[in-house]
């Protein structure tokens, strides 16, 4: 499964610690992350991460594009709800896309832990059906 990890500045350390705690789960999947978050996870957790741009420089939109194409199966976005950000519309758009595409998303560590444990148990395997259906549609054999 493809997992997107995003963390606002005050949440980056929390994200790194979370990934370290669940490294055995994350290693089984493909991980995408925005800018500095991806660098920190890669270096501190020693985990391969596909790094995109920094969130304010378009990284949130890059993740959103992957979500819109149903290329992302799970989003963990540790955000700081107490500060206003210049790129807040991008954050809102990303969360909306997750809802539209039925992509599970966590915006805090408690929900993130529940989703990662569900991922590890195989509770998100229904997302594989999404990918099979998408491949079926691309093959031109749809009715």
Which residues are the active-site residues?
Answer: 60
Instruction: Spell out the alpha helix ranges (H) of the chain.
Output: 12-21, 23-26, 35-44, 59-68, 88-100, 109-121, 126-138
d(C-alpha 46, C-alpha 59), whole Å = 21
Place of tokens 């990918």: 131
DSSP-assigned states of every residue in 74-103: EEEEE--TTS--TTHHHHHHHHHHHHHTT-
Q: First and final CA of the chain: distance in angstroms?
A: 27
Which residues, in sequence order, are bridge partners of residue 33?
Answer: 5, 51
Place of tokens 């350390």: 13
């Amino acid at each position: 499964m493809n997992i997107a990890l995003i963390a606002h500045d005050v949440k980056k350390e929390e994200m790194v610690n979370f990934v370290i705690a669940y490294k055995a789960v994350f290693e089984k999947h493909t991980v995408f992350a925005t800018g500095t978050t991806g660098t920190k996870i890669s270096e501190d957790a020693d985990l391969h991460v596909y790094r995109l741009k920094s969130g304010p420089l378009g990284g949130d939109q890059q993740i959103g594009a992957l979500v819109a194409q149903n290329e992302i199966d799970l989003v963990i976005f540790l955000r700081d709800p107490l500060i206003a950000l210049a790129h807040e519309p991008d954050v809102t758009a990303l969360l909306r896309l997750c809802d539209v595409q039925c992509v599970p998303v966590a915006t805090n560590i408690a929900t993130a832990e529940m989703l990662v444990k569900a991922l590890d148990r195989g509770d998100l395997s229904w997302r594989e059906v999404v990918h099979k259906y998408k491949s079926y549609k691309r093959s031109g054999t749809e009715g």
